[in-house]
Amino acid sequence: MKRRRFIQLSSLGIAAMPFFSITGILNLENMEVKTFYFKDDGIIPNSKFPLLVYKNAFSERGNSGADFLEKKFRDHNWYNSWRWGVYPFHHYHSVSHEVLGVFQGTALLHMGDPNGEKLNVEAGDILIIPAGVGHKCISHSEDFTVVGAYPNGMDYDLVKEEKSKHAQSVKNIQKVSFPSDDPLLGKTGGIKKYWK
């Protein structure tokens, strides 16, 4: 994957957007929530919590879509944000959950482990990835870019498919705290409903 752009944002807030813009961008009436469960395969731990995919969750695209996502995620205490793509190799995070908001382009992602699910994602989709759930990009459009963020602005690690790291990763995952808010929906719905 060619590295197009990676922007590590400071922990300071993003400039506020007008309220009418935010309500116009959200697409909750047409949003479809999909859940995917993946079992531990002995190499990639995956999670007891499902991967959540919010299809068609917001309508803004490009940089204004990215700005919207960064603000929305931060408002719900998910930050330490960046803009880039998804690595082309299976990896997971053992010390934090992760949200990815697709603000431009399309991609085919492989989620879970090598026997997991291949998902087509496009601008407007949001993925909430529990700690331990594997993911990689198989193919993507030239402009495919996401905003990534983490609950409480946590640091994140990057663990590849390595059996030797499995046992420690399982211990790490058990210590990951439950987020206070869903990155898109806040204190109602989303992870509050599906991550019981």
For the beta carbon of residue 46, count every other beta carbon within 10 angstroms: 25
pLDDT of residue 24: 46
8 φ, ψ (degrees, to nearest 5): -85, 115
pLDDT at 22: 45
- The answer to whether residue 90 scores a pLDDT higher than 80 is yes
pLDDT per position as a tens digit, 146-191? 999 999 999 999 999 999 999 999 999 999 999 999 999 999 889 9
Q: What is the pLDDT of residue 15?
A: 33
Task: Please return the burial class of 27, using the count of CB atoms within 10 Å of its CB with bins 0-12, 13-18 and 19+.
Answer: middle
User: Model confidence over 39-84: pLDDT tens digits?
Assistant: 999 999 999 999 999 999 999 999 999 999 999 999 999 999 999 9
Tens-digit pLDDT profile for residues 28-46: 888 999 999 999 999 999 9
Position 25 scores a pLDDT of 81
pLDDT at 5 over 90: no
Element (H, E) at 102: strand 98-104
> What's the whole-number mean pLDDT along residues 76-104?
98
Residue 29 has a pLDDT of 84
Per-residue confidence (pLDDT) for residue 16, from 0 to 100: 33
Give the confidence band of 121 by pLDDT, cuts at 50, 70, 90: very high
- Of 130, 98, 88, 139, the closest CA to residue 112 belongs to 130
Among 10, 9, 7, 37, residue whose Cα is nearest residue 145: 7
Contact, 103 vs 61, CB < 8 A? yes
Q: What are the distances in angstroms from CA 161 to CA 91, 133, 144, 175? A: 6, 11, 24, 21
Q: What is the pLDDT of residue 189?
A: 86
The pLDDT of residue 196: 84
The whole-number pLDDT of residue 20 equals 31
CB atoms within 10 A of CB 116: 23
Please say if the pLDDT value at position 3 is more than 70.
no
Per-residue confidence band for 94, with pLDDT thresholds at 50, 70 and 90: very high
DSSP structural state of residue 12: S
Alpha helices in the chain (DSSP H): 19-25, 62-75, 166-174, 191-194
